[in-house]
Structure 1
């Protein structure tokens, strides 16, 4: 039988993989055939070969029992190869390990320290939960051994036991404290490692180890200041592994403890000052020190020193150190933002690094550094970075730049110029939300609109290849074309013919998709009411081209717009300037839009005479043309109901003419549904819409269902056109309200009033022939109402059942002058199909 050396030589001499597999197959067959013998020499040699074959990646499960046979031997040499093979060929999930537990017990009690060491090493590497439970007490006793070799191995085994069985952690606390005060560095390392594990799994141990903080600080200082020790020196630093572990343990012990943290300040500053960053070993210690500073209650001096360390590493050439430094600076920004701001130029330089990961990490840090005082400079740097950034995260850069501009911009004009430059540089990868927010910026600031439309016109003339710029510019020219014809500061008034030439040139440039083409049609239709009528013929000719377009949507839009030109009054009203959105929340911008309402006014039409005298026309000031309504001092504030209800409790005062106009609008709406509206309606008059089977009335009923899915009546109020389920009722002690009656489900509320509480007993009726399963009701209330919702009595509604299922809820009105109103959502399964019904319920005023 060949020896291990001969097997290695034969494998190395194989010229192909097939030849190697042939050698291994023959050798494995020889090993299996010789397992029946009890010759220890052959068994020892076979297990050694199996270890080598395992390292080559071939299966060796058949040799596991040979390992157990060697472990049961009384000779150290056999046990050594047996335990080594056991750790390499098996793992903690193998059932064979249950047969090893007895041998481990016996070897832990051996008089030979090396055999004890073998057993402890095996426990440290592949000890399972069962083995950990069986040997926990023996390992704890061995930690008191007078032999340092066994102490060190026992500490390593204890770490494994704590990880597998945290319940046994408390028995190792006192022995760990003894290891922490040992003079030998290897024992200190074992003790510190064990202490860190105990702190992770046993929080009570932190208080015990805090008593030893002075000893730990003294040990750390001695290591940093010690002279050359050959056995523990690494690149001129004494035992860097122990130093790192000690600093890590100090961070755990000083967390959320101001008193003990203050004891560490001088030592941590000493470590920073006396550790060289010229080698990886020193940098590892410095990084661990910074991590500990972030964990403890550090003072300003310590935080400032930590920032200096990271900036020094950031100036180096190693990419790994740069990346980690940027990551720690991100964490330090919350505690030492002022110190980091002083080095922002170094951080900005990292945006030009060759490494993609470093650029991305630096970009995240720069975002966090921006504030009102440095936004102009940093946004300029970010725009420069945008031109060189990788395409995979260019879109994210655009979103964040625009967010910073909107949040920290010094004035509206700078915000507009910066966002215009951003979308110009970004090209075709500008997200839709950025374009939308840019349009909102122009809409919300009346004094900016004239300047904005001139700037966008000039930018569009220079480059029509940017889709986002095309979209915003075309929209602005169509919306504010009358302002574009008037001189604005350094910008001269633009002739309408030039506006039309530019817009029409985009259509034929090849840089317009279907969305841009649709925007062009809208813009030209709007321009027809903002420029002299002599240009309408040209606009109509262009729109007529799209009547035969292959795109159905564009074709339909062109046909509809062309009809506008036959009804001048309708066209003037339909393409009036867009109102400013209210109560709009945007994910990419932190500031919400102002809730003050700007009254809509008719737009002036630019005439031919006014174009000839543009220099004599003064643009109306915002405070003259758009005066905001200020509430009176004695006027009550508006109530903000839930967005889901979509109502307002504040009445709107209207003149007789406006009332008649609103009534006329109501009449037009009802003409679409059922016919003309009677003229003698009171504010709360209810119109009953009959349900017939004729085609015309059936379609009307369907349209009514779209608007009001849970009721067959349509209340019309002068102050609010919103559809309601039922009219508010007065405050009485006992009320019964039909909250919902639709799709075979009837919900009734039996209300008992006990101001400020309202006890509601809800009953559910199923009028259909199908069983309703998974039945539940959800309730939403405004912020001034407190809700207590009980569980329903059952989740199944039987067919044709009346008041079979009930549910109770308690409403508490926190503000007495607010209405009691709720929204309900009823969910159920009918014939395997999920369905839901919604209703708004007004209980009292």
Structure 2
């Protein structure tokens, strides 16, 4: 029989799982054989080896009865391993657990505090409701013992009993209150946990313990104002774990009770001044250890929901963490930075976030872009700033934005009527600079199609206008149509924009007709259908072309009838067409105001964006 250390060394040296399994099977067979012997001097060693096997995930249930035998042993070394095995291998569902009830009861009265401690720990770990009822008087007796080591463990054992059998809480109430006069921090910690459990489970007990608020306040003041204590000091704070437990109990005792709240107000103010947890977390952000910075930002993210201003004081440090080389820290810093954006700091924070977006890892671009869009929509100081910010994001990370970005931006542009000239000039410049960002190209094509006359006119007070000719605009749209980077949806935007320009320009209508006719035989069914219908407008329905291709009405994003499916953006504001008298010709108002939902193409944006998609009613 090998000793546990040798067995562990052999198992850990196994090079494959199959080899490890073989070693464990041989050892388990030897352990079973040893258990069958009546006189076994190495029982504790065998059970210790079995517990290691259990920790590796292999079956060890055949050692349950050996735990019962070792617990009954008079030797402490065997009793210790037996109790440890009971805590690991037994639970309240096992019949063997009932067999150790009498042994635990006897050991609770043992002359050695260490044996009593083993029994208390085991009962607190796996005691069933029946065991708790049988042994509760013994635990109450130990709560009143003179030994602080035993009282500490008895208090935690009482917590387990209260959770298993709540009606036994009244038994421990007097002893729990007396424990608050102890000086030992371990006993105080156990007492506070026990009182918290009693108060949460019984309103009547809660009223009784409200009388202990002055005692708890006094204990807390002693912890806050005490000098350096090497036994309980943690990073310059005296027993922070006990302080947290007391604060949780005070929160329960002070809830809906003015007298108890008044008694603890001064203390809470002092604690807040002394501890300043947010400031400590802020200092952790400067730590060289990335794990500490990550944990600090995780904690601050929880605090920012309840105390936004306190976390704002560390905004500069948090923003600096966006430059951290560690991806996890960078992600946490991004989430926290977005949570700190407000109406007051929107301009400064957005500069930092846009700078981060231009250099952030690809896996964070979508998250950063989405966060910037949400913050801009919520806190934008002006419509022009809002449009500029979104265009900047589309220029930087257009391929990583969500599908609804295009219709949302178009809705924003339509509502900013005084910025139409400014926006179309800016988007035209972006289009001729780079056509790789599909979302940006789609918005640019839409604007050029809607407000191309403003672009050609060149009258813009907001920026220095670009002198653009009709050929320049058509060249840009043709580039989009012919580019291999353009998706079918983008080509649809460009083709419709080209068609709309036929009513905004005067000298190049034939060129537009030629461009449109080319796509009448396009392999893409959507583009082909558009081109065929647009050709019909030129030929059979030329008298309706100006009316059909009028500017789009303002998009009403709050329309209750709008489905939030693929299209993502807002719905068109529906206007009832004017009624015609018999024989009266169709005016320009009717087609422009009608809304049609007939486009079932893959790109739902196109149906939403263009009134000319309503041409699906033409049968050619």
Please indicate the TM-score interval, normalised by the length of the shorter structure. 0.7 to 0.9
> Which has the larger share of strand?
1
Structure 1 residues 16 and 310 mapped into 2: Cα distance closer, same or farther (>3 Å)?
Answer: closer
Question: Contact between 1:199 and 1:205, CA under 8 Å: does it hold in 2?
Answer: yes
> Which of residues 475, 490, 493 in structure 2 aligns to 1:501?
475
Partner secondary structure for residue 349 of structure 1: helix
Question: Contact between 2:140 and 2:171, CA under 8 Å: does it hold in 1?
Answer: yes
> Which of residues 464, 486, 499 in structure 2 aligns to 1:525?
499
Aligned to 2:152: 152
Shift of 1:254: 4.2
Structure 1 residues 211 and 390 mapped into 2: Cα distance closer, same or farther (>3 Å)?
Answer: farther
**Alignment partners' CA distance in 2, 1:364 and 1:429:** 17
**Alignment partners' CA distance in 2, 1:28 and 1:394:** 54
Question: Contact between 1:162 and 1:197, CA under 8 Å: does it hold in 2?
Answer: yes
Per-residue CA distance 1:664-698 (angstroms, 9 max, x = gap): 88xxx9xxxxxxxxxxxxxxxxxxxxxxxxxxxxx
**Alignment partners' CA distance in 2, 1:234 and 1:552:** 71
Shift of 1:206: 3.9
**Alignment partners' CA distance in 1, 2:203 and 2:583:** 70
Per-residue CA distance 1:423-447 (angstroms, 9 max, x = gap): 1112212222111111111212222
What aligned pairs does 1:730-809 form with structure 2 within 5 A after superposition? Answer: none
Structure 1 residues 363 and 198 mapped into 2: Cα distance closer, same or farther (>3 Å)?
Answer: farther
Structure 1 residues 202 and 382 mapped into 2: Cα distance closer, same or farther (>3 Å)?
Answer: farther
**Alignment partners' CA distance in 1, 2:73 and 2:526:** 87
Aligned to 1:346: 317
Shift of 1:405: 2.2
TM-score, normalised to structure 2's length?
A: 0.81
Aligned to 2:605: none
**Alignment partners' CA distance in 1, 2:345 and 2:395:** 23
Question: Contact between 1:486 and 1:492, CA under 8 Å: does it hold in 2?
Answer: no
Shift of 1:23: 5.8
Moved more, 542-551 or 13-22: 13-22
**Alignment partners' CA distance in 1, 2:366 and 2:16:** 51
Equivalenced residues, count: 577
Is 2:531 the partner of 1:558? yes
Moved more, 229-238 or 400-409: 229-238
Per-residue CA distance 1:238-297 (angstroms, 9 max, x = gap): 5444344334434444456565455445545655666xxxxxxxxxxx5xxxxxxxxxxx
Aligned to 2:543: 569
Aligned to 1:134: 134
**Alignment partners' CA distance in 1, 2:20 and 2:142:** 46
Which segments of 5 or more consecutive residues in structure 2 lack a partner in the other structure?
A: 591-620
Aligned to 2:514: 541
Which segments of 5 or more consecutive residues in structure 1 lack a partner in the other structure?
A: 275-285, 287-304, 600-647, 670-845
What aligned pairs does 1:600-615 form with structure 2 within 5 A after superposition? Answer: none
**Alignment partners' CA distance in 2, 1:531 and 1:34:** 99
TM-score, normalised to structure 1's length?
A: 0.61
Shift of 1:497: 1.2
What aligned pairs does 1:266-415 form with structure 2 within 5 A after superposition? Answer: 266-268=266-268, 270=270, 286=275, 305-333=276-304, 336-415=307-386
Larger relative contact order, structure 1 or 2 (CA cutoff 8 Å, min sep 6): 2
Aligned to 1:580: 554
**Alignment partners' CA distance in 1, 2:531 and 2:271:** 76
Question: Contact between 1:170 and 1:202, CA under 8 Å: does it hold in 2?
Answer: no
Per-residue CA distance 1:307-355 (angstroms, 9 max, x = gap): 4444333344344444444445445546654454454333322332334
**Alignment partners' CA distance in 2, 1:460 and 1:412:** 21
Aligned to 1:422: 393
What aligned pairs does 1:239-250 form with structure 2 within 5 A after superposition? Answer: 239-250=239-250
Shift of 1:392: 3.2
Question: Contact between 2:436 and 2:485, CA under 8 Å: does it hold in 1?
Answer: yes
Aligned to 1:446: 417
Question: Contact between 2:450 and 2:551, CA under 8 Å: does it hold in 1?
Answer: yes
Structure 1 residues 71 and 341 mapped into 2: Cα distance closer, same or farther (>3 Å)?
Answer: closer
Name the larger-Rg structure.
1
Question: Contact between 1:399 and 1:434, CA under 8 Å: does it hold in 2?
Answer: no
Partner secondary structure for residue 553 of structure 2: coil
What aligned pairs does 1:46-85 form with structure 2 within 5 A after superposition? Answer: 46-55=46-55, 58-85=58-85
**Alignment partners' CA distance in 2, 1:34 and 1:334:** 60
Is 2:187 the partner of 1:187? yes
Question: Contact between 1:70 and 1:79, CA under 8 Å: does it hold in 2?
Answer: yes
Is 2:585 the partner of 1:660? no
Question: Contact between 1:450 and 1:480, CA under 8 Å: does it hold in 2?
Answer: yes
Per-residue CA distance 1:501-545 (angstroms, 9 max, x = gap): 11101222322111111112211111111110x312211221222
